[in-house]
Amino acid sequence: MIRFLVNRLLGMVVVLFLVCLFTFLIFFVLSPDPAVQICGKNCTPEAIDQIHANLGLDRPFWTQFGTFLSGLFVGRTYGTGANMIDCAAPCLGYSFQTSQSVTDMIVQRLPVSATVAIGAAVLWLLAGVAGGLISAVREGKFADRFIAGLTLTGMSIPNYVLALSLQFLLVVTLQWLPFPHAVSFMEEPGQWFANFLMPWIVLAIGAAAVYTRLTRANVIETLQENYVRTARAKGLSPGLIWRRHALRPALTPIVTIFGMDFAGLLGGALITETVFGLNGIGKLAADSITKNDQPVIMGVTLLAAFLVVVGNMVVDLLYTAIDPRVRVGSTA
Amino acid sequence: MNERREPLLRASNLVKEFAVHGGGIFGRAGRLRAVDDVSFEVGVGETLALVGESGSGKSTTARLIARLIDTTSGTIEFAGREVHALNGKALHAFRSEVQVVFQDPYSSLNPKHTVERIVTAPLAYQRRPIPGGARAYTGALMERVGLNPDHSGRFPAQFSGGQAQRIGIARALAVSPRLIVADEAVSALDVSVQAQVINLLRRLQDEEGFSYLFIAHDLAVVRQIATRVAVMNGGRIVETGDRDQVFGAPRDDYTKKLLAAVPRIRPEWDAARRRNERARREREDAES
Amino acid sequence: MTTTDTPLLRVRDLTVSFPTAQGPVDVVKSLDFDLPRGGALGIVGESGSGKSMTSLAIMGLLPKGATRTGSVEFAGTELTQLRERAMRSVRGDRIAMIFQDPLSSLNPYYTVGAQIIEAYRAHRGGVTRRQARAVAIEAMERVHINDAARRVDHYPHQFSGGMRQRVMIAMTLSMEPELIIADEPTTALDVTVQAQILDLLAEIRADTGAGLILITHDLAVVSEVTDHIVVMREGDLVEQGPAERIFTDPQEPYTRMLLDAVPRIDDEIGTLRTTTTEEAR
């Protein structure tokens, strides 16, 4: 068991390293020269060279990568002398456009993204599992087909269409919800809640649709299993059969998939945050793409990749805890 | 004079190891010896049965002989030539000498192919011309195995289990092999159908003179078709001999244990049934 | 007539049908047979004979959509008239069932101890964890699983095929059923293991006096284990009678054909007479 864990962790470290490398490589190859941006209008070749030297852009690729990596652990400095900029660990880069370290920018916006992710996740998990269970129990009947229609719609509508339509409908036309504006939870909880409600719904609808179908399929398949037949032959009550023999095997895979989806969402829901004007990581990514702020784009990409990899690993480990077949050894 | 012919197939010291999970970045994977120093011979026109329980290594051995998997070590000689290391064109040629019939026809035959396509496929793969054309050749093969040649355009799922297995046999016959490896070929069939297919296999062997490497776990079935028997346990052959000797006077303890465990109909009941059967027929003859 | 003469199970005119696109199809047609107290009945047939459906019909475990008519009288109670709740109290308690594939018939997420004790808990109720564990260990020991006290906490995949089938049998034992229905219990097992399992079933019957219905395609097995045989083919009851009579003097061509077709381990090839297939069809 210990060996298994160690293997997994080592694997994770290797993958994370490769993720860093490739992300860095992509941006290294693709980015335009930041020196031009920094320099401004009246630029001279000497100024450009100076900036290159300051930022270490004249060094070979591996050196730059090495500096970047070490920056992640111990921080780094940009430039020399009076203009030196200190980037504390973990340093994901420095945005010269906004004069902030990327890490700081991300950390500021993390609470918003986390709120969006958690709220949506709770919603979609409840809706998805409930919908899936109802569909499975009423397989073939009206409820099943109706829900199938809903899921199809939910999966087909593009995120932004849904977001804009919902906003238009609920805020402008029906005026059920107030127009979103940034408040802290402490000051105006009601408004705060209203701010997040629509993004939660928008994000949840697509995912709930997928989870409904997944749950439905899992439950139907589990009900066919031979061990459910054995449970019936033992004369167990339907409730007991459901809880112990049908739900647990059916829902376990869903919990693990959920872990991965959630981790991915933490990296920022780009479109949704932008449409609803929420200052989260997704919006940060969208804005910096528009402004072409390379360090930020790279930092956000790296974060998202990290979250997915870690989420994956956590889910794998979770599975060993939940499924005895993976956990323990062979035949005795 | 007892003329000893060169055996058609000679397997010597076959070993097959599989890696077992448990390895990782630091750990070393365990190895499982599915086939552990197995040697045997199959003569021309005879049937060698490889019997054993699950995990005995008999199926793996069959796959080694048919060159579906590679040996870890050991040699296989077919008609005097070494074949365990063949590759490419030579391996291709070998495939027309040794064919396999598998246990479940519904999963070993492509369900999307017609009988004609299935049966002529081996010839097509080996780029050999089909004598008389595909339709006629298929028809002839189907008749030989007891199928209706008009059904050559049907799909395996449209046939019963026994009939589908006959398709598999027809396919094996298409290239006129010298050795057929039958891997639990009748194990999945109903009893009545099983008997028919066993009879078919024996008839074909009498007519054509090829050899069988017959893999089975059912000793009663093996009793019906084998010339010689090799008993496997834990990857090794524990006893080899003529059929009557192995069944009648087994030497190895495992063989004895295996034979003792087989459920059997009491011979006195069979004898009584035959007597009653005869009496009934005599009565019917007397009445008519 | 004393109560000991009442058969343990009396099946009359049992029919099971499924709706299909071409109309309802009977997979079991008007079955009549009795199982005396403490007796062993073998239901033999090839695939599609309806033998498994018969056992499910007796237990009331038919798949959705199937209809069952006829009478199934168990120890004087008419099972077909029972409400589902009452039937549930019969299942697992008075009639227990063992299935063919022990690996898929056991839930991989729970320990064997937990599964052995489930029926006991459900039917007897008010059992402490310690008591339940003791019952499970005792059941495992009765089926000769070594080191039961430790292995009661193991999971199904940690057992070999034969051991798992013993676990299934242990599950039925904890309740001391009056009737055990075993549907192809040894088909998926090696022949040496099969012999052990069949011996175990015989031992249990001798200990508890439980009746046995053994469903199988293997005529040699029924000849060794059962005293009464029912031969089925495509839903019909072809022939039934005492085992010895069926094997020595079969009346129906189909039965004769089956007996001819069974490969004998100690007999010659000539008895594989299959020409009578045409007669039988």
Residue A318 has pLDDT above 60, yes or no: yes
Average pLDDT in chain A: 83
> How far off is chain B from A321, nearest CA to CA, in Å?
18
Mean pLDDT of A130-136: 91
Q: Which CATH number fits domain B44-70+81-260: 3.40.50.2300, 3.40.50.300, 3.40.309.10, 3.30.420.10?
A: 3.40.50.300
- Picking from C164, C184, C190 by the largest number of B CB atoms within 10 A of its own CB, the best residue to mutate is C190
Average pLDDT over residues B211-226: 94
pLDDT tens profile C192-223: 999 999 999 999 999 999 999 999 999 999 99
When CB atoms are compared, the residue of B196, B258, B265 closest to C220 is B265
Distance from CA of C56 to the nearest CA of A (A): 9
Using pLDDT thresholds of 50, 70 and 90, give the confidence band for residue A38: low
pTM over 0.90: no
Residues A230-263 pLDDT 10s = 999 999 999 899 888 988 888 888 888 888 888 8
Which residues does chain A have within 8 Å of residue C155's beta carbon, measured at their own beta carbons?
A: 324-325, 328
Residue A226 CA, distance from chain mean position:
37
What distance, in Å, lies between the first and last C-alpha atoms of chain C?
42
Average pLDDT, chain C: 89
Within an 8 Å CB–CB cutoff, is residue A326 touching chain B? Answer: no
Residue of C nearest to B219 (CA): C265
Quote the pLDDT of residue A77.
78
pLDDT top residue among C78 and A94: C78
Mean pLDDT in residue range A159-166: 85
Q: Averaged over B103-108, what is the pLDDT?
A: 91
Tell me how far apart the alpha carbons of residues A264 and B123 are, in angstroms, rounded to a whole number.
Answer: 53
CA–CA distances in Å: residue C10 to residues A51, C32, C225, C236:
97, 8, 20, 17
Q: From CA B194, how far away is CA B186, in angstroms rounded?
A: 6
Task: With a cut of 60, say whether residue A135 has pLDDT above it.
Answer: yes
Sketch the domain layout of chain A as residue ranges: 33-91, 103-327
Domain spans, chain C: 1-94+179-192+210-243, 102-174, 250-281
Least confident of A201-205, A270-274, B166-170, B245-249: A270-274
Q: Does B54 touch chain A (CB under 8 A)?
A: no
Q: Which residue from A229, A323, A332 is facing C159, i.e. has the nearest CB?
A: A332
B221 touches chain C (CB under 8 A): yes
Q: What is the pLDDT of residues A40-79, one digit of tens each?
A: 677 788 877 777 777 777 778 888 888 888 888 887 777 6
Query: Given B192, B259, B265, which is nearest C264 (Cβ)?
Result: B265
Looking from the CA of B77 toward its CB, the CA atoms found within 13 Å total 13
A156, burial (CB in 10 Å: exposed 0-12, middle 13-18, buried 19+)? exposed
What is the CB neighbour count within 10 angstroms for residue B154?
16
Best to test chain A binding among B20, B21, B25, B26 (most A CBs inside 10 Å): B25
User: Residue C192 in contact with residue B263, Cβ under 8 Å?
Assistant: no
Section C171-183 average pLDDT: 91
* pLDDT on residue A40: 67
Q: What was the pLDDT predicted at C278?
A: 39
- Shortest Cα–Cα distance, A150 to chain C (Å): 27
Fold of A103-327: MetI-like fold (1.10.3720)
Q: Which of C46, C191, C269 faces B262 most closely, judged by CB atoms? A: C191
Distance, CA of B50 to CA of B41 (rounded, Å): 11
Q: What is the mean pLDDT of chain B?
A: 90
> Of the spans A90-104, A187-201, C70-84, which averages the highest pLDDT?
C70-84
| Better-scored residue on pLDDT, B22 or C21 | C21
- pLDDT for the residue numbered C179: 95
Spacing of C-alpha A78 from chain mean position:
30
- DSSP, collapsed to helix, strand or coil, labels residue A261 as helix
Q: ω into residue A238 within 30 of 0, thus cis?
A: no
The minimal CB distance from C192 to the residues B224, B258, B264 is found for: B258
Give me the helices (H) in chain C, please. 51-59, 84-90, 112-124, 129-142, 148-151, 161-173, 191-208, 219-225, 243-248, 253-261, 276-280
User: Is the pLDDT assigned to residue B230 strictly greater than 80?
Assistant: yes
What are the residues of chain C with a beta carbon less than 8 Å away from any beta carbon of chain B? 46-47, 161, 190-195, 198, 217-221, 223-224, 244, 247-250, 256-267, 269, 271-272, 274, 277
Residues in chain C closer than 8 A to B229 (CB atoms): none
Name subunits touching B (3+ CB pairs < 8 A).
A, C
ipTM attached to this prediction: 0.87
Q: How far apart are CA A76 and CA A56, in angstroms?
A: 11
pLDDT at A328 over 70: no
The Cα B99–Cα B172 span in angstroms is 5
Please name every residue paired with C45 in a beta bridge, in sequence order, or none if there are none: C232
Judged by a CB distance cut-off of 8 A, whether residue B216 touches chain C is no
Determine the 3-state secondary structure of B145 from DSSP: coil
Q: HSE (CB half, 13 Å, CA atoms) of B59?
A: 11
pLDDT of residue C281: 39
Q: Are C152 and C111 in contact (CB under 8 A)?
A: yes
Least confident of A61-70, B140-149, C15-24: A61-70
Structure tokens at C92: 């697992």
Per DSSP, what are the bridge partners of residue B43?
none
Give CA–CA dist A155/B87, Å, rounded: 51
* Chain B residues 229-258 within an 8 A CB cutoff of chain C: 247, 257-258
Of A210, A209, A179, A206, the C-alpha closest to A276 is A179
Chains that touch A (3 or more CB pairs under 8 A): B, C
Is pLDDT above 60 for C270? no
The CA distance from A286 to B123, in Å, is 61
3-class SS at A272?
Answer: helix
Q: What is the DSSP letter of B177?
A: -
Q: Is the pLDDT of residue A159 over 90?
A: no
The tokens describing B113, both together, are 């192919």
Q: Give the type of residue at A285.
A: A
pLDDT of residue C111: 93
Which residue in C194, C223, C258 is closest to B261 by CB distance? C194
Instruction: Indicate if the alpha-carbon torsion angle C100, C102, C103, C107 is positive or negative.
Output: positive
> What was the pLDDT predicted at C276?
43
Say what the pLDDT of residue B29 is.
63
Cα nearest neighbour of A330 on chain C: C158
pLDDT score recorded for residue C105: 92
CATH for C1-94+179-192+210-243?
Answer: 3.40.50.300
Answer yes or no: is pLDDT of A83 > 80: no
**Which of A64-73, C106-115, C168-177 ranks highest by mean pLDDT?**
C106-115
Cα distance from A13 to chain B (closest Cα, Å)? 12
